[in-house]
Amino acid sequence: MSDAPAGVPAGEEARRDGLAAVSVAERSLSAEAAQWLSLALVTVAAVVADQITKHIVSSQLALDDEVVVIGPFSIHHVQNSGIAFGLFPNATVVVIVLTTVAVAWMLLFFARAGARHPVLPVALGLLLGGSISNLADRVRMGHVTDFLDIRYWPAFNLADISIVVGVVLLVGTMLAGEGSPRRRHGASTLRS
């Protein structure tokens, strides 16, 4: 027998009780307008920043020219037909296809889980922005312009930084979410 008032289904009473726990299954994790807007703003900012800096370097420095900034750090105009840090330099078509699939997967994931954590639009926005910016260069020119050089590491660009920071935020968010064990809905807290 239910404790719900007469005429109110038992489940309905729980939904009206503001102190009752909401089951994870009842809460939608799909991205809503605010999350999509945040994702779009971060993505566009990452693309614009990367494209502007690549344009400045390409228009001011000849290919392979270098300007030492401080210590081992320099602005060094290089072209990269591979993926991040020069990996797979002769696989431009494969990189384009894989990047396109990855971008589509990220958008699908975000559509289904964008409300899962407030950092998700920023993390995926950075990943998408960096991926889209480098993808646009590969499709348009067959390579990307890299220019940040620290001598002991292959040259990179702002898109690469966006991708790495996005991955770090995403992994950090996922690990932080796994840190506290969740109780299953309906599980008893008292042991006999």
So which residues are the catalytic ones? 146, 160
Alpha carbon separation from 75 to 8, 59, 133 (Å, rounded): 69, 13, 19
Question: CA–CA separation, 129 vs 137, rounded Å?
Answer: 12
Alpha carbon separation from 117 to 27, 75, 127 (Å, rounded): 13, 36, 16
- Amino acid letter for position 149: D
Distance, C-alpha 10 to centroid of its chain: 41
CA nearest neighbour of 142 among 63, 101, 89: 89
Alpha carbon separation from 20 to 3, 12, 14, 181 (Å, rounded): 14, 12, 6, 19
